[in-house]
């Protein structure tokens, strides 16, 4: 609770900062000197919205919103633009001011259970994740990164301002640019996660405001926070990247993708009945598409239900679509919201699925992670990667970013598959610096078919200064998720033409070859306990240790400065007084 309150405060403060700096930026931006692209030839902005609903075999329902805003402009050439139509001005100014090439940010509450739910369309780790490619014109990347995280912290009302050098890394291979341009110099890449970040309404509201229709019309009306956050998994993300408009790539544009993924646990809340509807999930129905959208569609995954024996979908639609996503050909019922007859006579669309009576497609790649060992001195991180493909082996890139207070010993790194040593063909390791930067471990491992590959590395837990502990130190410290990036062999041929019109959910990761598709998997974040000092007694410790040092100093000082002498007995006080009187009287003193 305290953290929430603190964050709101930070958010207000940083928000004010952002307003100021963006204000300045607007001042700078007038007047626009030139408009380079052929104005008026075709609409420069384009907005598409889409909702995919996939009933999961576990009984849960996965809903994935994607909103794509395309903006044909030439930021890359450094022209300042002050005219915004659909693209949110706040983000447009951020990318121009900080010379961002690509920006990916996600906020996630809950952990995606790959084994029960399959692959998500948009993977994201628990907590907040931010990775940014800067343009190569940026000279002070670290400084720009710091400013950018503070500005984003204000925009999204999140604790991104806690991103600093201690949790930022520069992966060398795992995070390639997803848009056009093949920059591979990872000096311009920054990656950071905040596994402890709690995502809630205050993050959703600014996210919704970035949409052209806000939450007034279109699919965004379904986003009621009291329902979205009453779910097993919630993830919202913003991805900005430059993309090609056509296959020859003569014109480029900025693409802003806003995605929101939710998994509703309707099984337990539905009193045993497996049945869901838009109204049950979102407590709203749809009445119209966003008027600004060129396309507005709902896809329902009915692959597992070809003849309608599993569940029944109302209102029925004859519009079917097939898409290849994550190496699998799926069939979808499509509802086009831009057409009036979708809404029927009630002027409202409430999709309903009633379950009739279930094996699920097992994902080919799965990973999990845990901490082994006991006590607070050492430990071992185990990462298990499962390749369920029956006969193909494929390589994966594993990225681990471990905070400095878990001191990794890289010589204890072992990679074993099927009981045999499996030497990584590439290892990039950057050791940590205390209180400055985390460990970064990236490696390329070949996963043999139908196997479990185990990566273990030992670490030592550091004792921190008492001021470096979080307010609840015995809760433990979070270690961000490992990231596994892989090209998984596909069962069906993948479409390599990235500019072809496709549903949004299947077009995010560019596909380079037909036989495989790109997957990114995040493991669980770890919670690790560290030894703690007694926080209640700094004064006592300072006093006691200083006393011991003083005992040492005192006893040596005593011996160094004094010399041995014979102790002469002191005459009694009465005798001394008597002697004084006798001396005054002139009488010889007493012996």
Partner 1 sequence: MAAPLTVVLIVAVTVRACLFRSSLADLIAERVEVVSPLNAWKRVVEGLALLDLGVSPYSGDVFHETPLIIYLFHFLVDYAEITFMLADVITAVALYYAVQDYNTQVLRQQKFALEAERLPLDSLELIRSPRQMYYIPLKVAMVYLLNPFTVLSCVAKSTCGLNNAIVALFILSTIKKNALLSAIFLALSTYQSIYPVTLCAPAVLYLLQRQYIPVNVRWASFWWFLLQYAFMYLGSLFVIICLSFFLLGSWDYLPSVYGFILSVPDLTPNIGLFWYFFAEMFEHFRLFFLCVFQINVFFYTIPLSIKLKEHPVFLIFMQLAVISIFKSYPTVGDIALYMSFLPVWSHLHRFLRNIFLVSCVLLACSALFPVLWHLWIYSGSANSNFYYAITLLFNVAQILLVSDYFYAFLRREHHLTYGLYLKRKDGSEATLVLK
The dihedrals phi and psi of 402, each to the nearest 5 degrees, come to -115, 130
| Nearest-angstrom CA–CA distance, 439 and 430 | 6
Name the residue with tokens 């994966």: 396
Selection from 168, 150, 146 nearest residue 158 by Cα = 150
Taking the least distance from each CB to partner 1, the nearer of 341 and 558 is 558
Cβ-based burial of 548 (10 A; exposed 0-12, middle 13-18, buried ≥19): exposed
Site string for partner 1, 555-584 (x = CB under 8 A): xx-xxxxxxxxxxxx---------------
Taking the least distance from each CB to partner 1, the nearer of 499 and 555 is 555
- Distance (Å) of CA 413 to CA 170, 431, 438: 21, 13, 17
Residues in the chain: 591
Assess 472 for contact with partner 1 (CB under 8 A): no
Give how many residues touch partner 1 by CB under 8 A. Answer: 56
Taking the least distance from each CB to partner 1, the nearer of 316 and 548 is 548
Taking the least distance from each CB to partner 1, the nearer of 174 and 451 is 174
The angle at the Cα of 124, spanning 194 to 470, to the nearest 5 degrees, equals 15
Of 476-535, which residues contact partner 1 (CB under 8 A)?
531-534
Taking the least distance from each CB to partner 1, the nearer of 541 and 587 is 541
Assess 39 for contact with partner 1 (CB under 8 A): no
Taking the least distance from each CB to partner 1, the nearer of 501 and 568 is 568
Which of 320, 372, 551, 580 forms a contact with partner 1 (CB under 8 A)?
A: 551
The angle at the Cα of 404, spanning 466 to 113, to the nearest 5 degrees, equals 105
Assess 542 for contact with partner 1 (CB under 8 A): yes
Pick the piece of the chain touching partner 1 (CB under 8 A) from 12-20, 105-113, 249-257, 433-441. 433-441
CB 440 within 8 Å of CB 457? no
Of 332-391, which residues contact partner 1 (CB under 8 A)?
374-378
Assess 553 for contact with partner 1 (CB under 8 A): yes
Taking the least distance from each CB to partner 1, the nearer of 273 and 433 is 433
Which of 111, 279, 355, 466 forms a contact with partner 1 (CB under 8 A)?
A: 466
User: Cβ 186 to partner 1, closest distance in Å?
Assistant: 16
User: Cβ 577 to partner 1, closest distance in Å?
Assistant: 22
Assess 9 for contact with partner 1 (CB under 8 A): no
Assess 410 for contact with partner 1 (CB under 8 A): yes
Assess 449 for contact with partner 1 (CB under 8 A): no
Which of 407, 446, 498, 509 forms a contact with partner 1 (CB under 8 A)?
A: 407
State the first-to-last Cα distance of the chain, in angstroms, to the nearest integer. Answer: 83
The pairing of beta strand 295-301 with beta strand 45-55: parallel
User: Cβ 5 to partner 1, closest distance in Å?
Assistant: 24
Assess 541 for contact with partner 1 (CB under 8 A): yes
CB 396 within 8 Å of CB 444? yes
| Nearest-angstrom CA–CA distance, 533 and 205 | 40
Of 55-74, which residues contact partner 1 (CB under 8 A)?
none
156 membership: H or E segment, kind and range: helix 141-156
Taking the least distance from each CB to partner 1, the nearer of 346 and 410 is 410
CA 264 to chain centre: 21
| Nearest-angstrom CA–CA distance, 320 and 118 | 22
| Nearest-angstrom CA–CA distance, 498 and 478 | 38
Of 191-250, which residues contact partner 1 (CB under 8 A)?
none
Of 134-173, which residues contact partner 1 (CB under 8 A)?
none
Cβ-based burial of 14 (10 A; exposed 0-12, middle 13-18, buried ≥19): buried
User: Cβ 588 to partner 1, closest distance in Å?
Assistant: 18
Which of 13, 435, 576, 582 forms a contact with partner 1 (CB under 8 A)?
A: 435
The dihedrals phi and psi of 46, each to the nearest 5 degrees, come to -145, 140
The tokens describing 202, both together, are: 């205050």
Q: Which residues bind partner 1 (CB under 8 A)?
A: 374-378, 404, 407-411, 427, 429-435, 439, 460, 462-467, 531-534, 537-538, 541-542, 544-545, 548-549, 551-553, 555-556, 558-569
């Amino acid at each position: 609770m305290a953290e929430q309150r603190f964050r709101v405060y930070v958010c207000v403060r940083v928000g004010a900062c952002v307003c100021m700096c963006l204000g300045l930026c607007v001042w700078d931006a007038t007047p626009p000197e030139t408009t380079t692209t052929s104005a008026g030839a075709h609409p420069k902005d384009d907005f598409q919205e889409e909702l995919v609903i996939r009933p999961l075999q576990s009984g849960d329902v996965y809903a994935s919103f994607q909103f794509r805003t395309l903006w044909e402009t030439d930021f890359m050439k450094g022209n300042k633009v002050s005219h915004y139509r659909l693209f949110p001005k706040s983000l447009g100014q951020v990318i121009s001011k900080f010379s961002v090439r690509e920006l990916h940010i996600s906020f996630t509450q809950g952990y995606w259970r790959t084994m029960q739910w399959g692959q998500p369309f948009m993977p994201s780790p628990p907590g907040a994740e931010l990775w940014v490619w800067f343009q190569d014109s940026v000279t002070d990347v670290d400084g720009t990164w710091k400013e950018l995280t503070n500005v984003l912290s204000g925009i999204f009302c999140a604790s991104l301002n806690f991103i600093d050098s201690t949790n930022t890394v520069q992966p060398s291979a795992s995070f390639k640019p997803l848009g056009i341009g093949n920059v591979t110099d990872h000096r311009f890449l920054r990656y950071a996660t905040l596994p402890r970040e709690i995502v809630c309404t205050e993050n959703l509201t600014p996210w919704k405001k970035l949409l052209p229709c806000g939450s007034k019309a279109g699919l965004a009306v379904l986003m009621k926070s009291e329902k979205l956050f009453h779910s097993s998994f919630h993830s919202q993300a913003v991805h900005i990247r430059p993309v090609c408009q056509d296959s020859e790539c003569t014109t480029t544009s900025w693409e802003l993708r806003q995605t929101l993924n939710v998994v509703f646990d309707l099984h337990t809340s539905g009193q045993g009945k497996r049945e869901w509807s838009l109204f049950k999930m979102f407590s709203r129905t749809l009445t119209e598409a966003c008027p600004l959208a060129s396309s507005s569609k709902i896809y329902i995954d009915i692959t597992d239900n070809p003849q309608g024996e599993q569940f029944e979908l109302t209102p029925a639609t004859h519009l079917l679509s097939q898409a290849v996503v994550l190496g699998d050909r799926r069939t979808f019922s499509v509802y086009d919201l831009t057409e009036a007859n979708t809404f029927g006579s009630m002027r409202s669309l409430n999709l309903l699925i009633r379950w009739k009576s279930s094996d699920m497609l097992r994902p080919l790649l799965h990973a999990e992670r845990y901490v082994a060992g006991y006590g607070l001195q050492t430990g071992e991180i185990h990462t298990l990667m499962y390749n369920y493909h029956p006969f193909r082996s494929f390589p994966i890139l594993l990225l681990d970013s471990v905070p400095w207070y878990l001191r990794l010993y890289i010589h204890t790194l072992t990679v074993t598959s099927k009981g045999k040593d499996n030497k990584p063909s590439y290892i990039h390791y950057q050791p940590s610096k205390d209180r400055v930067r985390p460990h970064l471990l990236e490696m390329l491992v070949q996963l043999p078919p139908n196997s479990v590959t185990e990566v273990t590395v030992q670490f030592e837990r550091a004792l921190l200064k008492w001021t470096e502990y979080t307010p609840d130190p015995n809760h433990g410290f979070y270690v961000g998720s490992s990231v596994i990036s892989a090209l998984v062999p596909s069962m069906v041929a993948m479409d390599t033409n990235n500019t072809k019109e496709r549903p949004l959910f299947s077009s995010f990761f560019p596909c380079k070859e037909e036989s495989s598709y790109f997957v990114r998997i995040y493991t669980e974040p770890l919670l690790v306990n560290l030894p703690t000092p007694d926080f209640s007694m700094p004064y006592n410790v300072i006093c006691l240790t200083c006393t011991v040092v003083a005992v040492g100093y005192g006893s040596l000082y005593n011996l160094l400065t004094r010399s041995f002498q014979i102790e002469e007995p002191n005459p009694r006080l009465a005798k001394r007084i008597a002697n004084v009187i006798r001396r005054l009287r002139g009488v010889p003193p007493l012996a």
